[in-house]
Structure 1
Amino acid sequence: MKKNEKVVEAFELAPAGIVSQVYPYKSNEEVVGMNMLELAERKTETKLAKKSGKYTIAGPYELKQGGKGVLLFDPIYVDDGPEKKFWGFSILVLNWNNFLQEANVKKLNDASYHYNVWKENKDGEKSIIMSCAHKNLKDTLSVSYTVPNDLWHFEIVPFDGWIPMYYKLGGFVLCVLITYLITVVYWQSKTKRLKEEMYAKKIAESAKKAQEANEAKTKFLFNMSHDIRTPMNAIIGYSNLLEDNLDDKDKALNYISKIKSSNSVLLSLINYILEMATIEGSKMSLKEENEDLNDLIDSIIDVARPHIQKKHLHFTYEPHFQQAKIICDKTRFREVILNILINAIKYTPEGGSVYFKVDEYEKQQEDHVTYCFTIEDTGIGMKKDYLPHIFEVFSRERTSTESKVPGVGLGLPIVKSIVDMMKGTIHVESELNIGTTFKVDLTFPIYNAVTAIENKEEKNILNFKGKHILLVEDNELNAEIGMEILKTFDLDIDLASNGKECLTVLENKPEKYYDVILMDVQMPVMNGYEATKAIRQLNNGNATIPIIAMTANAFEEDRQVAFKAGMNEHIAKPIDVEKLFAVLSKYLNQ
Structure 2
Amino acid sequence: MKQETSHKRRGFISMLWMPLTLYLVMLVTSFVVLTWHDTRNVWKAMDATLDFAVARLEQYFNAMSNERAKSEIRLLDKTAELNSRIAEAGVITNEQLDQYAYAQRLTGIVILDADMNAVVQTTIDGDAAAALHSMLQKPTVREIVDYPVKAYMTRTQVGSRTVDFAAVAREDAPGLVVAYAEREEEDASDMKLETLFSGFTFEMNGTVTVSDGKTIIASNSAEIVGHDVKKIEEGSIPHAQWDESGRLHIVDGMTAWSGKRTAFENYSVYAMFPDLAVYNSRNTILLYGTLIYMGIWLCFAWLRAQQSRRALEKNSEQARIISAISEIYCFTFLVNVQRGTVRIIKHPVEQLMKMDRTWSMNEVVQMQAAQNVAPDFREAFISYCDLTTLAQRLKENPNLTLEFRDPKEKVYLMTTLPQNYDRRGRLESVLMVTQDVTAEKERERDYQLQLKKTAEDAERANIVKTDFLRRMSHDIRTPINGIRGMVEISRRYVGDEAKQEECREKIMTASGFLLDLVNDVLNMNKLESGAVTLEEKPFNLRQMVSEIVTMVEGQAWHENVQVSCKTLAWNHENLIGSPMHLHQVLQNVVGNAVKYNCPGGSVTISCEEKGFDGTTATFLFTCADTGRGMSAAFQQHAFEAFAQEESGARTAYKGTGLGLPIAKELVEQMGGKIHFESELGVGTTFYITLPFRVDPNPPKAESAKPEQAASIKGAHILLVEDNELNMEISQYILEGAGAIVVQAWNGKEAVRCFSESEPGTFDCILMDVMMPLMDGLEATRTIRAMQRPDAATIPIVAMTANTFSEDEQRSREAGMNLFLNKPVDSVKMLQTVLECLKMGGENAL
Q: TM-score, normalised by structure 2?
A: 0.48
* Partners of 1:334 and 1:508 in 2: CA distance: 44
Distance in 2, matches of 1:275 and 1:187, equals 55
SS at the partner of 1:567? coil
8 Å contact 2:566–2:605 — kept in the other structure?
yes
Task: Select 2:609's aligned residue among 345, 356, 360.
Answer: 360
Instruction: Give the letter aligned to residue 264 of structure 1.
Output: G
Asked if 2 retains the 8 angstrom alpha-carbon contact of 1:144 and 1:151, the reply is yes
Deviates more, 1:566-575 or 1:320-329: 320-329
Q: AA paired with 2:741?
A: I
Letter paired with 1:568:
N
Offset at residue 351 of structure 1 (A):
1.2
Displacement of 1:304 in angstroms is 1.0
The structure-2 alpha-carbon separation of the partners of 1:376 and 1:195, relative to structure 1 and needing over 3 Å to count, comes to: closer
1:383 aligns with 2:383: no
Secondary structure of 2:557's partner? helix
- Asked if residue 327 in structure 1 is aligned to residue 576 in structure 2, the reply is yes
- Once the 2 structures are TM-superposed, how far is the Cα of residue 551 of structure 1 from its aligned partner? 1.0
Q: Name the SS of the counterpart of 1:264 in structure 2.
A: helix
Q: Aligned to 1:575, which of 802, 821, 824?
A: 824
Among 444, 456, 468, which residue is 2:716 paired with?
468
Match of 1:430 in 2: 678
Q: How many residues align?
A: 440
Pick one of 482, 495, 508 that aligns with 1:247.
495
- In structure 2, relative to structure 1, the CA distance for the partners of 1:328 and 1:190 (3 Å cut) is closer
1:221 equivalent in structure 2: 469
**What is the Cα deviation at residue 348 of structure 1?**
1.4
Give the CA deviation at 1:371. Answer: 2.3
CA distance in 1, matches of 2:386, 2:832: 99
Deviation per residue, 1:429-464 (Å, 9 max, x gap): 001111101111222233357643444554432232
| Superimposed CA distance per residue, residues 517-537 of structure 1 (whole angstroms, 9 cap, x where no aligned partner) | 111111111111111111111
- Equivalent position of 2:780 in the other structure: 532
Residue 188 (structure 1) aligned with residue 415 (structure 2): no
Partner of 2:379: 152
User: Equivalent residue for 1:546?
Assistant: 795
Q: 1:520 and 1:426, CA in 2 relative to 1: closer, same or farther beyond 3 A?
A: same
> What is the identity, as a one-letter code, of the residue corresponding to 2:459?
Q
- What amino acid sits opposite 1:431 in the alignment? E
Query: Residue 520 and residue 405 in structure 1: after superposition, are their counterparts in 2 closer, same or farther (change >3 A)?
Result: closer
Counterparts in 2 of 1:221 and 1:108: CA distance versus 1, 3 Å? same
Residue 636 of structure 2 aligns to a residue in which SS?
helix
Which stretch has the larger CA shift, 146-155 or 253-262?
146-155
Cα displacement (A) at 1:508: 2.1
Q: Quote the residue 1:297 is aligned against.
A: 545
Letter in 1 for 2:379: W
CA distance in structure 2 between the partners assigned to 1:501 and 1:207 by the alignment: 54
CA contact (8 A) 1:549 1:570 kept: yes
For the residues of structure 1 that align with 2:704 and 2:581, how far apart are their CA atoms?
A: 23
Instruction: Check conservation: 1:499, 1:527, Cα contact below 8 A.
Output: yes
CA deviation profile, 1:361-419 (whole Å, cap 9, x unmatched): 2x431143332221111111112232232111112222362695522211011111121
Alpha carbons 1:473, 1:497 under 8 Å: kept = yes
2:379 alignment partner, SS class: strand
- Distance in 1 separating the partners of 2:387 and 2:588: 86
Which residue of 2 is the match for residue 260 of structure 1? Answer: 508
- Contact kept, 8 Å, 2:627 with 2:684, in 1: the verdict is yes
1:249, distance to aligned residue in structure 2 (A): 0.5
Check the 8 A contact 1:380/1:435 in 2, yes or no.
yes
Distance in structure 2 (CA, Å) of the matches to 1:582 and 1:489:
11
Larger Rg: 2
SS of equivalent to 2:749: helix
Q: 1: distance between equivalents of 2:514 and 2:674?
A: 27
Partner residue, 2:770: 522
**Residues 277, 456 of structure 1: CA spacing in aligned structure 2 closer, same or farther, 3 A cutoff?**
farther
Q: What letter corresponds to residue 583 of structure 1 in structure 2?
A: T
In structure 2, the partner of 1:288 is 536
With 256-265 and 378-387 compared, the bigger mean Cα shift is at 378-387
Over aligned residues, Cα RMSD in angstroms? 3.3
Shift of 1:330: 2.6
1:351 to 575, 600, 621: 600
Distance 1:417 1:183, change over 3 A: closer
Residue among 752, 758, 767 paired with 1:504: 752
1:152 partner letter: E
The residue type equivalent to 1:228 in the other structure is: I
The aligned amino acid for 2:780 is T
Contact 1:360 1:372 in 2 (8 A): yes
Structure 1 residue 562 and structure 2 residue 789: aligned?
no
2:565 equivalent to 1:338: no
Letter in 2 for 1:555: F
State the AA in 1 paired with 2:509. Answer: S
Q: Does 1 or 2 have the higher relative contact order (CA < 8 Å, sep 6+)?
A: 1
- Assess if the C-alpha contact under 8 Å between 2:549 and 2:563 holds in 1: no
Query: CA contact under 8 A between 1:400 and 1:406: conserved in structure 2?
Result: no
Q: Distance in 1 between matches of 2:563 and 2:492?
A: 40
Matches within 5 A, 1:398-417: 398-399=646-647, 401=649, 404=652, 406-417=654-665
- CA apart distance, 1:157: 12
Amino acid at match of 1:373: F
Which structure 2 segments of 5+ residues have no match? 1-331, 342-365, 389-405, 416-432
Instruction: Tell me how far apart the structure 1 counterparts of residues 595 and 530 of structure 2 sit (CA, whole Å).
Output: 30
- Distance between the aligned counterparts of 2:502 and 2:599, measured in 1? 22
CA–CA distance in structure 2, aligned partners of residues 414 and 241 of structure 1 = 37
Give % identity. 34
Q: Deviations over 1:132-177 (max 9, x none)?
A: xxxxxxxxx9997766845518599999xxxxxxxxxxxxxxxxxx
- Structure 1 regions of 5+ residues with no counterpart? 1-101, 113-140, 160-178
CA 1:391 to 1:198, structure 2 compared with 1: closer, same or farther past 3 Å?
closer
Secondary structure (helix, strand or coil) at the match of 1:543 reads coil
Q: In the aligned structure 2, how far is the partner of 1:394 from the partner of 1:339?
A: 14
Structure 1 residues 455 and 413: alpha-carbon distance in aligned structure 2, compared to 1, 3 A threshold: farther
**Aligned counterparts of 1:519 and 1:280: Cα–Cα separation in 2:** 30
CA distance in 1, matches of 2:757, 2:581: 42
CA contact (8 A) 2:539 2:575 kept: yes
Q: What is the distance in 1 between the residues matched to 2:800 and 2:562?
A: 41
**How many Å apart are 1:343 and its aligned residue?**
1.0
The alpha carbon displacement at 1:308 in A equals: 2.0
Q: Are residues 285 and 195 of structure 1, via their aligned partners in 2, closer, same or farther at CA, if it must alter by over 3 Å?
A: closer
- Note the C-alpha offset of 1:108: 5.5
| Amino acid across the alignment from 1:311 | E
* Contact 1:400–1:407 under 8 Å retained in 2: no
Q: In structure 2, do the counterparts of structure 1 residues 322 and 538 end up closer, same or farther at CA, with 3 Å as the change threshold?
A: same
Please give the residue correspondences for 1:199-214 in structure 2 after superposition, counting only pairs within 5 Å. Answer: 203-204=451-452, 206-214=454-462
Q: Structure 1: how far apart are the matches of 2:541 and 2:413?
A: 74
Matches of 1:400 and 1:486, distance apart in 2: 43
1:55: which partner in 2?
none
The Cα of 1:111 is off from its aligned counterpart by: 4.1
* Cα offsets for 1:71-95 (capped at 9, x unmatched): xxxxxxxxxxxxxxxxxxxxxxxxx
CA distance in structure 2 between the partners assigned to 1:403 and 1:242 by the alignment? 22
Matched, 1:440 2:667: no
The C-alpha deviation readout for 1:103-149, integer Å capped at 9, x for no partner, is: 999x666549xxxxxxxxxxxxxxxxxxxxxxxxxxxx999776684
Q: In structure 1, what residue type is equivalent to 2:729?
A: I
- Report the Cα distance in structure 2 between the residues aligned to 1:382 and 1:297, rounded to whole angstroms: 26
